[in-house]
Chain A
Amino acid sequence: MHLDHHLESSAAVSADARRPDGTRRALRIGLGGPVGSGKTATVAALCRALREELSLAVVTNDIYTREDAEFLLREAVLPPERISAVETGACPHTAIRDDISANLEAVEDLEDEVGPLDLVLVESGGDNLTATFSRGLVDAQVFVIDVAGGDDIPRKGGPGVATADLLIVNKTDLAPYVGSDLARMAADAKAARGELPVILQSLRSEDGVREVADWVRERIAAWTA
């Protein structure tokens, strides 16, 4: 086996908006947040909502299995060649922030193999409240928390809650059962985030991802404008 074949050009270095052949690369949106908050469920719902109108792909960052990728495959939200799993060596935040090379490679390989793409969703393996994506990897990031994780999380803030381009407070259907005060969560989030948007959603309800899908559409429109 030898790989001496020549290509016209070589991969872009990092966040360049253009691919080596001069075309615009896909918009990349990262989804971070604690384990179990609903990142994979949101990715799945977004794929279902957007796959007819956009050329989509997903990169998952599983901590020690391929569960997320396998869930998306099982649910058949996208054809298998559009879903790629990155291994993160026990450090999910490193792979999305400090050393993004494996994720960049996954994104670029997807564009090469199934492109052209309009949108790549990059799901973090799930981490603590300080984990954010590097601007070298994604163009926008969504932080997903849920009402069952405690209604004081928006008040506690932290980089994810305070600075993400969109904060999703997920599983609002569970609020009555876990005694979470949605109004307070919304007010605390507003206080921590100023003008940055917050969406409360339940994926258990019909078309629960609609508002988030609209936010993604706006991002795409701005990216391609």
Chain B
Amino acid sequence: MTRAALLVLADGRFPAGGHAHSGGAEAAVRAGRITDAASLESFCRGRLHTSGVVAACVAAAAALGVDPGQLDRAADARTPSPALRVAARRLGRQLMRAARATWPSPELDALASRFPKGAHQPVVLGLAARAAGLGPLDAAYCSLYEGVSGPATAVVRLLGLDPFDATGVLARLSDDMDRVAQEAVETGERVVTDGVDVLPARSAPLLEIGAEAHAAWAVRLFAS
């Protein structure tokens, strides 16, 4: 495991398309559910323990070498909103391009020819971690961190929230992220032996509903 490679993959500047997505924050801001740092923190915590857990488990399992096709279908089944499925595959495709250019690997090439229009982002993330010489825990951390740093950055832009407050929110979520990342690795290991059905299916209905509404807006800052 190389710690430096983890920093490269986890860096918000890694050019994989994330900057255009708010992780549901734009819809939540419009609905009045995020208005300040405290409500941003609740939003992120909720995300972390629902769709965040699922994504982290998928990423960890992919990093352990579980078949990406099975993981992609499992992720589909756990993402009721079609708009979110489209966003997840678009981000997966963008990450695939960046990862192939950064850590060329036959596994990523195979993924790209199997899913030319993209697999769910956490699946690609797990394989990108493998290609970078990282392990399932790293993949889980990247997934979780991205899942909360995306909304935090978006809310800085959407509400003019003080960027120091937004970063404080992320710091306060660290313990939760540590715990969930461990769980994700344990689940990933169980997927290796017992198959994808042991993946959790937690979801946040408001994120799903919000994503559908957001996709139909004529004027929006973020793609999702």
Contacts and interface: CB of A to CB of B under 8 A. Distances in A.
Interface of A: 1-4, 6-11, 13-14, 63-66, 87-91, 94-95, 98-102, 104-105
State the main secondary structure of chain A at its contact with B. loop
Contact of B100 (A13, A64, A89, A95): A13
A105 B93 contact: yes
A64 B222 CA distance: 8
Contacts of B117: 3
Nearest to B13: A98
B171 interface: no
Contacts of A87: 20, 220, 222-223
Nearest to A97: B15
Contacts of B219: 64-65
B2 to A, nearest CB: 22
13 contacts: A2-B73, A3-B72, A4-B69, A8-B113, A13-B100, A64-B221, A87-B20, A87-B220, A87-B222, A89-B21, A90-B222, A101-B98, A104-B97
Contacts of A65: 218-219
Contacts, number: 89
Interface residues of B, number: 40
Contacts of B157: 90
B17 A101 contact: yes
Contacts of A99: 13, 15-19
B28 to A, nearest CB: 16
A11 B97 contact: yes
Contacts of B143: none
A39 B48 CA distance: 42
B189 interface: no
A91 to B, nearest CB: 6
Interface string B95-121: 001101100000001001111111100
Contacts of A1: 76, 85
Interface in B7-34: 13, 15-22
A13 B13 CA distance: 18
Interface string B71-89: 0110010000000010001
A89 B101 contact: no
A98 B221 contact: no
A71 to B, nearest CB: 14
B113 to A, nearest CB: 4
A95 B20 contact: yes
Contacts of A101: 15-17, 93-94, 97-98
B115 A100 contact: no
Contact of B15 (A7, A91, A98): A98
A89 B114 contact: no
A10 B110 CA distance: 9
Nearest to B94: A101
B19 A7 contact: no
